[in-house]
Amino acid sequence: MIAPTIESEVRSYCRNWPVVFDQGRGSRMFDRDGRVYLDFFAGASALNYGHNHPVLKRALLDYLEQDGVTHSLDMLTAAKEDFLTEFGTRVLGPRGLDYRVQFPGPTGTNSVEAALKLARKVTGRQTIVAFTGAFHGMSLGSLAVTGNASKRAGAGVALGHTLRIPYDGFSGGEVSGLKLLDSMLADSSSGVDLPAAVIVETVQGEGGVNPAGWTWLADLAELCSRRGILLIVDDIQMGCGRTGPFFSFEAAGITPDIVCLSKSLSGYGLPMSLTLFRTELDVWQPGEHNGTFRGNNPAFVTAAAALREFWADSTLEKRTEERGLLFEQRLNDLADQHAAHITASRGRGLVWGLAFREPDMARQVADAAFARGLLVETSGSYDEVVKLMPALTSTDEELTEGLGILQDSVTSTVGA
């Protein structure tokens, strides 16, 4: 029984999972009545390394027990220095990425806002190109480049300075957004001014788990380079190993001008985000973009520990890619078995979606999974996709267990 709440009606996840959780360990969550749930939600990909990973927890507790600085804005601290050293050594250096690192604030939308502002400052132009199905955050700048109608409706003001074009595969791939953009920029009578930047997700998570093809991403990068447009990759949900590599764009062979990171960056579910950009784009004046909580030192501590634990070599990356093949096979089989109800299974690494013909059915499947002890969410334009994002540290047995529960939930829902 949930006690009466004074929390706003805006709450959402607790409506679908009406229990009180009080513990989390690895890939499991526990409610206060002792029931165990297998977590294929992972904090919307903020918990790629699971709940309370012991190595990260120990680093955090040690730091707190020695009275380490917790809040510092952008002052110099030992925790920030350690994180920047590890990030440069284990992420940027091996990939040959000459990026400056900005701490824009604690959340993903802070990173996107900084990226948009910087792109406009560097170029002197206002328009941002965004894609159908995109989700980039809930503050006004991020919301302007988000596609979802219900989320945009909450803005209360006009959301402008955005040119929206079709994402890879939109409308069955009948319209090429890249050709459309290129042709409009080539025609001085199109009415389209040269934009400051293009912002893109390599896999649209909230949009329904839509992976862009590697060739499409490479073509987008080439178009931006040729036209003098900055390319922003929003890697907030798909970065930090969710698709396999640390950055989700690596397999496309592209180097974005600006990259947004958050979610699992801290490794422990603590608020933290970065905006990365090419060194020559660092035209900020001191304090020109700031935020009170951009120096979250406990997050620096767990982030540095996560980099040492998981990104010293390619073990996690390779394992995630291998497990992605397991998900692909199992979900394709499930989609074939229930082709009358499931239109597609799609994903990459350890983010996957099952798209249903009837949107309500996705919610029913998610509810059936919850009743069986599995946490999954829905996404897509009509919440028609069951979205799977297990922790990257899940065991093979846990992944098999979760897929089995999902199959039972689908079968019971469609009545086959």
Residue-wise pLDDT tens digits, 205-250:
999 999 999 999 999 999 999 999 999 999 999 999 999 999 999 9
Over residues 251-272, the mean pLDDT reads: 98
C-alpha to C-alpha distances, 109 to 9, 143, 203, 206, 212, nearest whole angstrom = 22, 9, 17, 14, 22
- The CATH number of 13-53+315-414 is 3.90.1150.10
**Secondary structure of the chain: what % helix, strand, coil (to 5)?**
40, 20, 40
Over residues 105-131, the mean pLDDT reads: 98
Over residues 125-149, the mean pLDDT reads: 96
Residue-wise pLDDT tens digits, 314-329:
999 999 999 999 999 9
Helix (H, G, I), strand (E, B) or coil at 333: helix
User: What residue spans define the domains of the chain?
Assistant: 13-53+315-414, 58-310
Rounded Cα gap, residues 212 and 176, in angstroms: 12
**pLDDT interval class at 3 (50, 70, 90):** low
What is the model's pTM? 0.97
The DSSP line for 122-170 is HHS---EEEETT----SSHHHHHT---HHHHHTT-S---SEEEEPPTTG
What fold characterizes domain 58-310?
A: Aspartate Aminotransferase; domain 2 (3.40.640)
